[in-house]
């Protein structure tokens, strides 16, 4: 869809690959959270016996970090509807053609003014 809308250019391959990798890591973190929960119990042995304490699943922090990085990258592709108007989808060829056409129209108008 990014390609069809003119947003994706060949130069963006590495940025898109990075976004895909962040998505895979985010998805993996979410799968870990679904399987193991938000809180893990860590057991350890001490001089006085065994203890168990709850800690936040490290996948929660990872999920948040990967999601934040994905959203920052999504802005560059205009994936968010609010960011879409800021994306220039014209190719250099298209913008040059428009400029030449405008120059032609301006020259025609100036010729009419001279008469």
Q: How many CB atoms lie within 10 A of CB 111?
A: 9
pLDDT at 53: 92
Number of H helices, E strands in the chain: 3, 2
Tens digit of each residue's pLDDT (9 = 90 or more) over 86-96: 665 555 554 45
Residue-wise pLDDT for 35-57, tens only, equals: 999 999 999 988 888 889 999 99
The answer to whether 60 touches 38, Cβ cutoff 8 Å, is: yes
The Cα–Cα gap between 101 and 70 comes to 40
Q: What are the sequence ranges of the domains in the chain?
A: 10-88
Q: What are phi and psi of 57, to 5 degrees?
A: -60, 125
């Amino acid at each position: 869809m990014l390609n069809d809308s003119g947003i994706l250019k060949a130069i963006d391959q590495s940025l898109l690959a990075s976004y895909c990798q962040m998505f895979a890591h985010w998805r993996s973190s979410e799968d870990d959270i679904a399987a193991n929960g938000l809180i893990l119990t860590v057991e350890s042995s001490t001089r006085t016996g065994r203890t168990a304490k709850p800690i936040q699943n490290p996948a929660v922090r990872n999920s948040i970090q990967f999601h934040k990085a994905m959203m920052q990258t999504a802005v560059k592709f205009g994936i968010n509807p609010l960011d879409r108007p800021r994306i220039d989808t014209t190719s250099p060829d298209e913008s040059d053609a428009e400029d030449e056409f405008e120059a032609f129209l301006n020259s025609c108008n100036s010729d009419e003014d001279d008469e």
